[in-house]
Copies of this chain bind each other. A is one copy, B any other.
C-alpha cells in the first residue's frame, strides 16, 4: 500500500490522552479554539513580536515584569486576577499589540503546550480556525508525523476543538496515513457541521458555547469559528511562539 509511505496523523481528543501517542516523533498542533489559539494567531497576525505561553498566573506576572511585556490570560473563561488583559482576540488589534511581546496563560491551551514540550515534541505549532490554512499548508509541506492535540476543557473532550481537528483532516487527509478512530470521528463531526459551525455549536448545546455566551461573547465565538481571518503559523521555539517561516 502506498499509504505506508505517507506520514501518520493522529488526533488526541484530550490532554489526558496525549500520552497514548508518540509525541517525540511528531509535529504537535495545539488546538484551543475558544479562545487561546485563536487569540495567539490573531495577535501574531496583528504584529505581535512573540507570545510567551506560560503555565501559571504567577509565572505570567513574573515574566511580564522581567521583560516589560503585556500579561494576559484567563481562568475559567474570565480575565485572571493580577493580569492586564484577557483571552479575547479582539483585545489585540495592531495599534495595541504591534511589535509587543505578550505573556499568556490559559486554562487549557498553554497547559497542553507545556505537556507536548515536556514529552519532547519534534515541533509545536498552534492551530485555530483563524489560521486553518496556514496550519494545513505547513503540515502538508513538512511531511512529518502529526498529532492534532485538542486542549479540551479540563480534560473533557469538547466539540469546538474536535471540529477544528476534523477541519484540518478534511484538508490534509490525502497526504497522511490515518489509522486513528479519533481522527475519523473528528472528521465526521466537521463534515456534519461545516455549513454553519456557529449554528452547530448552538444546536449541540456545546458546553463552552454556553459558558462564553453567558459572558456576552457571541462575537468572539463567531470569529473563532471563521477560517483564515489571521492566517499565520505560530511556531514554538526557544520558549516563545512567533510567526514561522517555512
Query: Which residues of A are interface residues toward B (Cβ below 8 A)?
Result: 13-14, 16-17, 20, 153-159, 162, 178-182, 184-185, 188-189, 192, 204-208, 210
CA distance A224 to B74 in the complex (A): 46
Contact partners of A208 in chain B: CB under 8 A: 181
- In the complex, A156→B188 CA distance in Å? 17
Known contacts A185-B189, A192-B192; is A20 also within 8 Å of B204 by CB?
A: no
Q: Taking the full assembly, how many copies of this chain does it contain?
A: 2
Given contacts A17-B156, A17-B157, A155-B20, contact A207 B185 (CB under 8 A): no
| Complexed CA–CA distance, A112 and B172 (Å) | 34
Q: Are A188 and B192 in contact (CB under 8 A)?
A: yes
Alpha-carbon distance A183/B188, docked complex (angstroms): 15
A-B contact pairs, 19 of them (CB 8 A): A13-B13, A13-B157, A16-B16, A16-B20, A17-B156, A17-B157, A20-B154, A153-B181, A156-B180, A157-B181, A157-B182, A159-B181, A159-B184, A178-B205, A181-B204, A184-B204, A184-B206, A185-B185, A192-B192
Whether the pair B205, A179 counts as a contact (CB closer than 8 A) is: yes
Cα separation A65 to B184 with both chains bound (whole Å):
43
In this complex, what residue of B is CB-closest to A21?
B156
Residues of B within 8 A of A16 (CB): 16-17, 20
Shortest distance from the beta carbon of A198 to any chain B beta carbon, whole Å: 15
Complex contact B155–A181 (CB within 8 A): no
Determine if B162 and A185 form an interchain contact, defined as CB atoms under 8 angstroms apart.
Answer: yes
